[in-house]
Amino acid sequence: MAGRSAHAPAAEACLDSRQRLLAAAWELLWLNSYATVSVDDLCRRADVNKGSFYHHFDSKAALAQAAFAQQWECLRPALDAIFSAQVPPLERIDRYAALGLEIQTAKAQEFGRVLGCPWTSLGCEAGCKDGDLRSIAAQKGERVSRYLAAAIRDAIALGQIPAGDPDELAAMCQALITGSAAQARITDSLQPFARLAGALRRLLGAPAT
Partner DNA sequence: ATGCTCCTTGACTATTCAGTCAAGTCAAGT
Partner DNA sequence: ACTTGACTTGACTGAATAGTCAAGGAGCAT
Position 183 contacts DNA (CB under 7 A) = no
Question: Distance (Å, rounded) from C-alpha 196 to C-alpha 129?
Answer: 30
Judged by CB under 7 A, the number of residues near DNA is 19
User: How far apart are CB 49 and a second copy at their closest, in Å?
Assistant: 25
Of 5, 9, 41, 134, the residue at the interface with DNA (CB under 7 A) is 41
32 is a site residue for DNA (CB under 7 A): no
Cα→Cα distances 67→40, 173, 202, Å: 17, 26, 34
Helix, strand and coil percent figures for the chain, each rounded to 5? 75, 0, 25
Amino acid letter, 150? A
Q: Which of 10, 13, 14, 35 binds a second copy (CB under 8 A)?
A: 35
Residue 177 within binding range of a second copy, rule CB under 8 A: yes
13 binds a second copy (CB under 8 A): no
39 binds DNA (CB under 7 A): yes
What is the smallest separation between the CB atom of 169 and a second copy, expressed in angstroms?
8
C-alpha dihedral sign at 136, 141, 146, 151: positive
Q: How far apart are CA 86 and CA 95, in angstroms?
A: 13
Q: Per rule CB under 8 A, is residue 100 in the interface with a second copy?
A: no
Contacts of 56 (CB under 8 A, 6+ apart): 17, 18, 21, 63
Best CA proximity match to 29, nearest among 56, 80, 84, 66: 66
Looking at the Cβ atoms of 45 and 60, the one nearer to DNA is 60
Q: By CB under 7 A, name the one of 61, 98, 150, 190 that touches DNA.
A: 61
What residues between 125 and 164 interact with a second copy by CB under 8 A? 125-129, 134, 137-138, 141
CB burial of residue 61 (10 Å; 0-12, 13-18, 19+): middle
On whether the CB atoms of residues 17 and 25 are closer than 8 A, the answer is no
Q: Which one of the spans 8-16, 87-95, 150-158, 172-180 is the region binding a second copy (CB under 8 A)?
A: 172-180
Q: Which residues bind DNA (CB under 7 A)?
A: 16-18, 37-41, 48-52, 54-56, 59-61
Q: Which residues bind a second copy (CB under 8 A)?
A: 31-36, 111, 113, 115-116, 120-121, 123-129, 134, 137-138, 141, 168, 171-172, 174-183, 185-187, 191-192, 195, 198-199, 202-205
